[in-house]
């Protein structure tokens, strides 16, 4: 299927490893010009090298810590300076934050900033130039809606879902779509760090209908489709990619 996104431009946050890296490689393979954002410059440069080695356009590398107060402005300015315009924004950066009942305000503020506030700020800094050109794709990599306890990231991702739905209703008339993808168990640094091989094997056999953890490419393929003109009529949605792990109906 010809996606029609060759020559488009995209910002991918959290692009240095895991899901973000997989998305960057997939978009690059489709001929998308990329701005890659993360904290670790060396890993970003490695991903950029992989993109070009596979025949994709040379990406712009933007080293930035999301927790810096001016992060959103720095990222948007650097992306526009490097690419000229931004057609596609993939808000992928984030991280789990499991809390006890006595979690501090600083802990909550960090979780919400990392998993909601910066995504919202970057998006709004890039929206106007999308609206002027009557085309844009905003894709948020979010999180599950079945928290087993208090997790600052899940709370922030719920806010992201709500914000994205509302935003989709405001910008649809400009040819801009806004969608969210909650990953299931996708193999990444966080998954390998947080779950033992024994638990991953047990969960694959007992809780995931397709019988295995997913790969970053499983997310990346949906991102490429949602970023394309073919997905023009899909907006305001939350589409899990989880091998059937989640039990909610929609």
9-231: CATH topology: Rossmann fold (3.40.50)
**pLDDT 10s digits, 1-38:** 799 999 999 999 999 999 999 999 999 999 999 999 99
Q: Cβ atoms within 10 A of the Cβ of 250, count?
A: 5
Whether the predicted model's global pTM rises above the 0.85 cut = yes
Q: Strands of 136-141's sheet, edge to edge?
A: 60-63, 33-38, 9-13, 88-91, 136-141, 176-181
Q: Average pLDDT, stretch 145-156?
A: 88
**pLDDT 10s digits, 64-100:** 999 999 999 999 999 999 999 999 999 999 888 889 9
**pLDDT 10s digits, 213-242:** 999 999 999 999 999 999 999 999 999 999
Q: Average pLDDT, stretch 49-54?
A: 97
**pLDDT 10s digits, 172-221:** 999 999 999 999 999 988 888 889 999 999 999 999 999 999 999 999 99
Distance CA 54, CA 211 (A): 31
Contacts of 106 (CB under 8 A, 6+ apart): none
């Amino acid at each position: 299927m010809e996606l029609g996104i060759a020559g488009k431009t995209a910002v991918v946050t959290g692009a240095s490893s895991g899901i973000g890296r997989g998305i960057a490689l997939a978009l690059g393979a489709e001929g998308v010009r990329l701005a890659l954002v993360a904290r670790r410059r060396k890993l970003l440069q490695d991903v950029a090298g992989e993109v070009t080695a596979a025949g994709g356009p040379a990406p712009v590398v933007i080293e930035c810590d999301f927790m810096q107060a001016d992060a959103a402005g720095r990222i948007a300015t650097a992306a526009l300076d490097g690419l000229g315009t931004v057609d596609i924004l993939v808000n992928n950066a984030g991280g789990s934050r499991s809390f006890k009942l006595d979690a501090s305000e600083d802990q909550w503020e960090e979780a919400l900033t990392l998993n909601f506030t910066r995504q919202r700020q970057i998006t709004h800094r890039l929206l106007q130039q999308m609206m002027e050109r009557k085309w844009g794709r905003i894709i948020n990599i979010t999180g599950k809606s079945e928290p087993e306890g208090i997790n600052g990231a899940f709370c922030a991702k719920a806010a992201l879902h709500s914000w994205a739905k509302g935003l989709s209703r405001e910008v649809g008339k400009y040819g801009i779509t806004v969608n969210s993808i909650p990953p299931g168990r996708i193999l990444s640094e966080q998954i390998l760090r947080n779950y033992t091989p024994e638990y991953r094997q047990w969960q694959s056999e007992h809780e995931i209908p397709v019988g295995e953890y997913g790969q970053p490419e499983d997310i990346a393929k949906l991102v490429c489709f949602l970023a394309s003109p073919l997905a023009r009529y899909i907006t305001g949605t939350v589409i899990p990619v989880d091998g059937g792990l989640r039990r909610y109906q929609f």
